[in-house]
Structure 1
Amino acid sequence: MSNALSLLQQRHSAPSRQLGEPAPDAATLRALLEAAIRVPDHGKLVPFRLIELRGDDKLKFGAQLAERAIRRDPNLPESKREKERFRYTFAPLVIVVVARLDDEAGIPEIEQKLCAGNVAYNILLGAYALGFGAQWLTGWAAYDPEVASLLNLAKNECVVGFVHIGTPQAEIPDRDRPALDDLLSQWKA
């Protein structure tokens, strides 16, 4: 069996809370991201961009998101407040994948978002192939207008995901997967 197929069969997400140092160094990250942006792109629009969060800036971003979560819901239980406060303290690197939508291009918006989503998935695959762990997260922050402003997103942009990357700090068991026979049918005329 090919190495690529084996990689697909073994790939799994590593919970962001179980990711620590090291993250990919600058050269490895560049190679990973150059590979990740090689996605199907109807119309060659390049309907995506990436934002790197690392170090103190990542921690400050996480702190601002935690403050926003509490402003959004002043009745947020303490356990959820704590989760928000620590969300960006584990993985040493977060890549924000942003969709840039062009409503005048004649390419359906869903195809543009799927293109950006493929970038996020390629980052997951590439990180796993390089021996790192990664988790693609969205949650409320991906859809919040104040977070979009914090990230300096334009009106035609939206967050597709926050991809947390690092080295797994514990063995990550795979989860149960669906059976192909439950999902595959054959259309007949």
Structure 2
Amino acid sequence: MEALEALLNRVSVARLDEPAPTPAQRELLFRAALRAPDHGQLRPWRFLTVEGAAREQLGELFVRAQLARDPAAPAAALDKARAMPLRAPLLVVAIACLKVHPKVPESEQLLAAGCAVHGLLLAAHVQGIGAVWRTGELAYDATVHAGLNLADSERIIGFIYLGTPAGELRKPQPLQPADFVAAWPSGLGAEVER
């Protein structure tokens, strides 16, 4: 697949089956992630892989987080939390590792980590691997952060679900660049309205 084709046609794939990406495919996923733009070469990211029985352990961590927020959580909510990591054969927890730096604010480091995830998603698409980037309240939960041994300076930016697409890939919605791009300043010489 050519690079532009991948960029123009990547879509999220929510329905995922076995098998998980092979070791060789994973190597390419992470090599692509590591090519993200990175002001100061801080490499403000790291990744945790979760598969096999570890997915069930992550589900139990999600249950503990749910109960910490709501001790009276209904059984259905706990079952949903427990099942979340089972939706794909491989999960990657994408973590921004924020550093104090005089020229690279945390906001730029978060963007760099997000670009790393985008590189991983594109590499998945090129290899025919289904992938979806999920966040939700568990990504920001203190119980989950503690259970994954995150440092105070680290943030989960997403749970990346990876596997074999179940069914046909959806077609990307056509978007027109003109709807999102404009020249600045528009109307040279015109006064800015206030």
TM-score normalised by length of structure 1:
0.90
Unaligned runs of 5+ in 1: none
Contact 2:38/2:109 (8 A) holds in 1: yes
Q: Which runs of 4+ in 1 moved over 6 A?
A: none
Matching residue of 2:182: 185
Contact 2:68/2:143 (8 A) holds in 1: no
Matching residue of 1:176: 173
Matching residue of 1:56: 53
Task: State how far apart, in whole Å, the 2-side matches of 1:85 and 1:22 are.
Answer: 21
Unaligned runs of 5+ in 2: 189-194
* CA separation of 1:105 and 1:99: change in aligned 2, threshold 3 A: farther
Matching residue of 2:192: none
Task: State how far apart, in whole Å, the 2-side matches of 1:117 and 1:182 are.
Answer: 24
Cα RMSD (Å) of the superposition? 1.9
Where do 1:86-97 residues align within 5 Å? 86-97=83-94
SS of the residue aligned with 1:164? Answer: strand
1:4 and 2:22 aligned: no
- Range that drifts further, 177-186 or 54-63: 177-186
Contact 2:10/2:172 (8 A) holds in 1: no
Decide which of 34, 37, 50 is 2:34's aligned counterpart. 37
Task: State how far apart, in whole Å, the 1-side matches of 2:108 and 2:175 are.
Answer: 26
Decide which of 97, 100, 116 is 2:97's aligned counterpart. 100
1:81-132 Cα shifts (integer Å, max 9, x gaps): 4332211112111111111111234311111000100111111111111001
Task: State how far apart, in whole Å, the 2-side matches of 1:152 and 1:83 are.
Answer: 23
User: 1:178: how far off?
Assistant: 3.8
- Range that drifts further, 90-99 or 58-67: 58-67
Percent sequence identity over matched residues?
A: 37
* CA separation of 1:32 and 1:187: change in aligned 2, threshold 3 A: same
Task: State how far apart, in whole Å, the 2-side matches of 1:57 and 1:76 are.
Answer: 23
SS of the residue aligned with 2:133? Answer: strand
Decide which of 145, 157, 160 is 1:163's aligned counterpart. 160
